[in-house]
Amino acid sequence: MFEDIPVSTQMGVWGLIIGIALGFVIHRTNFCAMGAVSDIVSFSDWRRMRAWMLAMAVSILGSQLLYIGGYVHLENSIYLRPTMSLTGLIIGGFIFGFGMVLGGGCPGRNLMRVGNGDLKALMVLFFIGWAGYMTMRGILYYPQAWVRDLLVVRLGDMGIENQGIACLIGRTTGLCGTALRVVVTLAISGLLALFAFRDAGFRRSPRHVFAGVALGLLVTLAWFATGYMGADEFEPAQVTALTFIAPTGDAFQYLMTWTGATINFGIATVGGVILGSFISSKMTKTFHLSTFVDTPDTIRNLTGGVLMGFGGILALGCTFGQGITGMSTLALGSIIATLAIIAGGVAGVKYMERVLDI
């Protein structure tokens, strides 16, 4: 039955379904990577950070099982390329992390807020997509390329196939094969899960535990959708999972060129998250329209959107794109980018607290 449906349409349906589930989960659990950083800095509360770590653990386990089973070729994703820009990952990640604090949350969080009636979040998303497109193809491309090319590690020149942790360990130790990947997968996912569950407060919070498990499973399902269901010989889908910088820009462009455009997985997930959040907010009767508080609030949020768009493209992803999806591939670059995003988030929270006295 599905053979007669274009792959792009199939990916659109998968993206919409997964996006709706994601928006629903984010709204119900109040998951937010920026909030996770802010909770630690301001209140010493690690529960949302532990939920993020649990999402990483579940996505790593699920995605690596798909890879080992031959269902998804993760090496075809952008995360495992043998070329790695350290300056792009570190500087871009830091800029994105700082921007997500100014912009009231990462792109995924802002998509959820739009579904909940927040018009401020809609404008932040527009500026994310606008800046992201300028960084990929417009006037910001050249400064982005200059930063990216400052320090590039070319693993291929060293005879290393990709930047996956298992591949790097295998090259260093001489070990190889599926057994090494299984050990690395279980070790890293196990340590992350242990970190999450070692805290009694986290264990007693079903909302945070559910958020971590659900987000990890949705990333795994997204890999399966694009990597297996989208593996068409003539019209293959891009092998990816959940990420929101470039797809946000693509979504705005799609709306403007509807009659001549083709939907893809990323565009559909963007719409799905908004719809899922809207459904959840209507069910809980929390939907309400809101907008900017004042001029400083407007400037701060829109600046955050620009920083997220620029930094996210430079770092090859956001808190979802690198922080969960990229991490699930066990890519060294994703680990570096995620740490840089967290560092930028910490700096952003301290800036908001000390300079703006919020």
Residue 161 counted as domain residue: yes
Helix (H, G, I), strand (E, B) or coil at 294: coil
Helix (H, G, I), strand (E, B) or coil at 118: strand
**How much is the pLDDT for 354?**
83
User: What DSSP assignment string belongs to 301-333?
Assistant: HHHHHHHHHHHHHHTT--TTIIIIIIHHTTBHH
pLDDT tens for each residue of the chain, 358 residues long: 456 677 878 899 999 999 999 999 999 999 999 999 999 999 999 999 999 999 999 999 999 999 999 999 998 999 999 999 999 999 999 999 999 999 999 999 999 999 999 999 999 999 999 999 999 999 999 999 999 999 999 988 888 888 989 888 887 776 667 888 999 999 999 999 999 999 999 999 999 999 999 999 999 999 999 998 877 666 766 889 999 999 999 999 999 888 777 889 999 999 999 999 999 999 999 999 999 989 999 999 999 999 999 999 999 999 999 999 999 999 999 999 999 999 999 999 999 988 776 5
Residue 1 counted as domain residue: no
Per-residue exposure over 134-149, b if at least 16 CB sit within 10 Å of its own CB, e if not: bbeeeebeeebeebbe
**How much is the pLDDT for 3?**
61
Per-residue exposure over 254-290, b if at least 16 CB sit within 10 Å of its own CB, e if not: beeeeeeeebbbbbbbbbbbbbbbbbbbeeeeebeee
Best CA proximity match to 347, nearest among 32, 34, 30: 34
**How much is the pLDDT for 20?**
97
**How much is the pLDDT for 60?**
97
Instruction: Provide CB contacts within 8 A for 300, sequence distance 6+.
Output: 102, 356
**How much is the pLDDT for 258?**
82
**How much is the pLDDT for 175?**
66
Per-residue exposure over 104-122, b if at least 16 CB sit within 10 Å of its own CB, e if not: bbbbbbbbbbbbbbbebbe
Residue 323 counted as domain residue: yes
Domain that holds residue 79: 6-354
**How much is the pLDDT for 2?**
52
Residue 11 counted as domain residue: yes
Please state the domain count of the chain: 1
Residue 217 counted as domain residue: yes
